[in-house]
Amino acid sequence: MSPDGMQGAGADSAYRDDGETLVTSFSLNGREVSVRAHPSSRLTAVLRDELGETGTKVGCDAGDCGACTVSLNGKQVCACLTALGQVQGQSVFTIEGQSEPEPATDTKELSVLQQAFHDYGAAQCGICTPGMVMAAQDLLDRVARPTEAEVLDAIGGVLCRCTGYRKIVDAILSVGVGTSLGDIRSDGHVGSALPRLDGFGKISGADAYGADDIPQDALWLRVVRSRHHAAQFTLGDLQSVVDKTPGLDRILTAEDVPVNSFGIYPHLKDQPVLADGFVRYRGEAVLALVGKKAVVEQFNDDTLPISWQALPEVMDTDAATADGAPTLHENSPGNVLIRGHVERGEVAAALQGSAVTSERFFETSFVEHGYIEPEAGYAFCTETGTSGDTTSAGAARMTVVVSTQTPYMDRDEIAHVLGLSGPEVRVTPTACGGGFGGKLDMSVQPLVAVASWQMKRPVACVYSRTESMAASTKRHPSKISARAAADSTGKLTAFGFDGDFNTGAYASWGPTVAGRVPVHATGPYFVPNILNRSRAIYTNGPPSGAFRGFGVPQSAIAHECLMDDLAEQLQMDPLEFRALNAIKVGDKTATGQVLEASVGQGACLDALRPHWKELRAQAEQRNANSSGPIRHGVGVGCMWYGCGNTSMSNPSEMVVGLTKSGQFVLFNGAMEIGQGSGTIMAQICAEALGIPVQCFSQIMGVAPKFSKKIHV
């Protein structure tokens, strides 16, 4: 920024075009700033785009997530709901004001509160952390020693999707009572309580997420989306729209995409980057508007020459598999994408001959991942040298900088879409503000890559929360019919499962769900007779993809309800029933795999048993003593889940380099998305080499460099 702190709004600000130069001045983290921007601009946009202070995050622009929490005159507010005009002459504090810069070193020290977040592991993916810290500081400024209830009230307006809040609450309480975990740093080997190696950037707000470091000269891309679940469309003269819209440089269509298909499985690339005359879900990308940010954001899609013809839609698996249902994809007649089948023994006979049986129907809905960071990134064409780091790109012709869980898969998918080879594309992952499976699929990647490829300019795209919800993948809705039987001693005899999983408009990870479910559907129990069947079915819903467990959690609802049913019929304790049937070393799973190493199921239940007994007794006592509407109960639920990829090999390797100065460098390919892989991988490595973890630096998820620089 310029020396006087003045920042200009984009030249496209109509407010200024009207001849008015409105300057808003306010105090930001104790220093006076002046900004030229439309006074109804959100304070978030002003802080981030005009003042370059990107520690304040944007999760929803609607006051729903609290990631943009700042202090306005000593009270926490959502900057996304605050008009710039309202802060004229007022005092604003942001995460950047939490810690004081050290003049000597030009580094920042964490505040006491931030240090507590670090020590307690209160920041995972880190996207909510700046808002969480600001909300907590608001409380601590008013109440020196808050109660837990006060802490909960204070941070109630900030959503965290990683931690479950407990560590955040503990961190804030610790500041109030002045306790500290003390020096918990150690050699950092596996099992030690190590503060996250990447914690500083997340807690200070310094880490750059997908929307935080977009080049000034980037064009912006906004997607025109289908408002129909199913429709055909034809396009009119788009060039004339471009010609008469200043600041709109291009409207991209399906014709502009070199290879207009992508998808997780090599043989199932069934999703177009831009729809080609036919849309299969509401929210599907139809066109891409590319130009000045304010122009594409404010553009009215109703003025586009698109002629729509709505088609009948199928919104659930029953409708999609009914006679005469419209076919979504030609190569999947009846809309069945794939079937899964695991069978052993004689289920029908075993069900018939057992002492007790239970059969039930279960239905679950779409679930949105709700990572607080919406999809965001930008691309630049390395050939033209217009932007970015061209020297270290090697052979890469296209670079995409994006928030993602899977830079390597993204690289191959982008290369496929552009008609390039893998090494011709470089994907640079930014910090990732939550994924939970949802950022395993591409979102903005092919759009910005195609636009940048066509226009030879850097192009950025940041989804709004609304777009993220409409367009991104979801957890598969399921319809499950399941049955189980046991003999009179409580031993399971048979298990049957039929599940239809709504995979939405495109395949995405549907085959993984259909494949994993029948393998896991019995739960962590030994059952001699098994018939588990699954189907992934196309509908006109949003694509269902990967979400924490690939359909297995849906199945767990079914098998655990059946376990409770059988235990109740046999008048057995639900935990003891599970313990009796727990799968153990030497047992065969449904697929015939013999579990040869450790199987923790029995040990887990043994460890739970005393607590279970105590809690059950407490609940009974509380209910006996209470006449109010609240009743207490205790339940037990078990689930298992195979690590890695089901039914395929799972090779993995770890590569360590040694720099000339003697520093170890770990090339970490397990993208850090809040789960801690940026720390635990280094811990494993340190232990293996027998040196302290502090001796390592890391390079995270950068594929081309990875393949070139390794080989110790």
For binding to other proteins (CB under 8 A), which residues are involved? 12-15, 17, 22, 38-40, 42, 60-64, 66, 69, 72, 75-78, 80-83, 85-86, 88, 135, 138, 152-159, 222, 224-225, 227, 245-247, 294-295, 297-302, 464-467, 470, 628-630
Q: How far is the CB of 224 from other proteins (least distance, A)?
A: 6
- If you write DSSP's letter for every residue of 580-610 in order, what string do you get? HHB--TT-B-TTS-B--S---HHHHHHHHHH
Q: How far is the CB of 430 from other proteins (least distance, A)?
A: 22
Which CB atom, from 86 or from 91, has the smaller least distance to other proteins?
86
Q: Of 357, 345, 356, whose CA–CA distance to 530 is shortest?
A: 345
Which CB atom, from 46 or from 531, has the smaller least distance to other proteins?
46
Which CB atom, from 89 or from 182, has the smaller least distance to other proteins?
89
Place of tokens 């399921």: 478
Which CB atom, from 222 or from 483, has the smaller least distance to other proteins?
222
Residues in CB range of 472: below 8 A, 6 or more apart: 368, 369, 375, 438, 441, 443, 463, 542, 545
Q: How far is the CB of 322 from other proteins (least distance, A)?
A: 23
Taking a C-beta distance cutoff of 8 angstroms, is the pair 436, 548 a contact? Answer: yes
Q: How far is the CB of 295 from other proteins (least distance, A)?
A: 5
Structure tokens at 571: 């008048």
Q: How far is the CB of 299 from other proteins (least distance, A)?
A: 6
Taking a C-beta distance cutoff of 8 angstroms, is the pair 574, 567 a contact? Answer: yes
Taking a C-beta distance cutoff of 8 angstroms, is the pair 420, 452 a contact? Answer: no
In angstroms, the first-to-last Cα distance of the chain is 43
How far apart CA 13 and CA 248 sit, in angstroms, is 14
Q: How far is the CB of 368 from other proteins (least distance, A)?
A: 12
Q: How far is the CB of 304 from other proteins (least distance, A)?
A: 8
Which CB atom, from 165 or from 706, has the smaller least distance to other proteins?
165
Helix (H, G, I), strand (E, B) or coil at 636: coil
Q: How far is the CB of 495 from other proteins (least distance, A)?
A: 32
Q: How far is the CB of 150 from other proteins (least distance, A)?
A: 11
Residue 337 backbone dihedrals phi, psi, to 5 degrees: -70, -45
How far apart CA 269 and CA 252 sit, in angstroms, is 20
Place of tokens 């990829």: 645
Q: Of 228, 230, 225, 231, whose CA–CA distance to 313 is shortest?
A: 230
- How many residues are there in the chain? 712
DSSP 8-state symbol, 663: -
How far apart CA 221 and CA 250 sit, in angstroms, is 9
Which CB atom, from 34 or from 327, has the smaller least distance to other proteins?
34
| The amino acid at 617 | A
Which CB atom, from 76 or from 473, has the smaller least distance to other proteins?
76
Around Cβ 362, how many Cβ atoms within 10 Å?
A: 17
Which CB atom, from 22 or from 699, has the smaller least distance to other proteins?
22
Helix 129-142 to helix 166-177 angle (10° resolution) is 30
How far apart CA 453 and CA 447 sit, in angstroms, is 10
What phi-psi label fits residue 296: left (phi over 0), alpha (psi between -120 and 50 degrees) or beta? Answer: alpha
Q: How far is the CB of 297 from other proteins (least distance, A)?
A: 6
Which CB atom, from 95 or from 575, has the smaller least distance to other proteins?
95
Which CB atom, from 69 or from 114, has the smaller least distance to other proteins?
69
Which CB atom, from 40 or from 240, has the smaller least distance to other proteins?
40
Residue 351 backbone dihedrals phi, psi, to 5 degrees: -60, -45
Residues in CB range of 701: below 8 A, 6 or more apart: 407, 429, 668, 669, 670, 671, 672
Q: How far is the CB of 43 from other proteins (least distance, A)?
A: 10
Partners of residue 42 on adjacent β-strands: 83
| The amino acid at 626 | S
How far apart CA 637 and CA 590 sit, in angstroms, is 20
Q: How far is the CB of 508 from other proteins (least distance, A)?
A: 21
Which CB atom, from 137 or from 532, has the smaller least distance to other proteins?
137
Sheet holding 356-364, edge to edge: 336-344, 529-538, 492-504, 478-486, 356-364
Q: How far is the CB of 475 from other proteins (least distance, A)?
A: 15
Which CB atom, from 73 or from 421, has the smaller least distance to other proteins?
73
